[in-house]
């Protein structure tokens, strides 16, 4: 429980660190650049990619959940080149009026390495935002969860 509580406290700090790490951030037309070279075309191309089913990755993964009308979120597409390697990422900033969050573990916990779709996860009770990546403890790499409620 202590590790989980520490993870909940560390999450806002982690998000703040991610925001600070993105020295310049823009919306879909731009990208964030740090020490690497900015690649606007690379960031924009990620929005054009589609899954085998024809769904766009970003829009599906970042859409507000059904019935949630008060969720204000800002999705920033990050694209840069670092040491000749392309790096893509998303920074999701969510307006949270109560000032705290909880993270739900996948069924059976993180140790099962179970994979499921965002669409299936969004029906979890009290889920406010489902993302296609999990949160982890930055100290030891342990899985914390991936559903924000």
As a whole number, mean pLDDT of residues 68-79 equals 57
What's this model's pTM, rounded to 2 decimal places?
0.31
Which residue reads 């982890």 in tokens?
A: 136
CB 73 within 8 A of CB 113: no
Percent of the chain scored above 90 by pLDDT? Answer: 0
Angstrom distance (rounded) from CA 92 to CA 132: 12
Residues 6+ apart with CB under 8 A from 136: 142, 143, 144
pLDDT tier at 139, thresholds 50, 70, 90:
confident
pLDDT tier at 82, thresholds 50, 70, 90:
low
Angle, vertex CA 57, rays to CA 123 and CA 7, nearest 5: 60
CB 47 within 8 A of CB 79: no
């Amino acid at each position: 429980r202590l590790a989980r509580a520490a993870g909940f406290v560390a999450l806002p700090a982690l998000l703040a660190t991610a925001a600070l790490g993105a020295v310049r951030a823009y919306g879909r037309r731009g990208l964030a650049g740090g020490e690497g070279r900015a690649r606007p075309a690379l960031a924009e191309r990620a929005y054009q990619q589609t899954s085998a089913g024809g769904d766009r990755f970003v829009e599906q993964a970042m859409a507000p959940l059904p019935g949630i009308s008060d969720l204000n979120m800002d999705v920033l597409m990050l694209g840069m080149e670092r040491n000749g390697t392309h790096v893509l990422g998303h920074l999701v900033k969510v307006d949270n009026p109560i000032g705290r969050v909880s993270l739900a573990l996948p069924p059976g916990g993180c140790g099962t390495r179970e994979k499921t779709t965002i669409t299936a996860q969004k029906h979890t009770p009290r889920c406010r935002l489902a993302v296609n990546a999990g949160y982890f403890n930055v100290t030891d790499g342990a899985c914390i969860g991936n559903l924000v409620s």
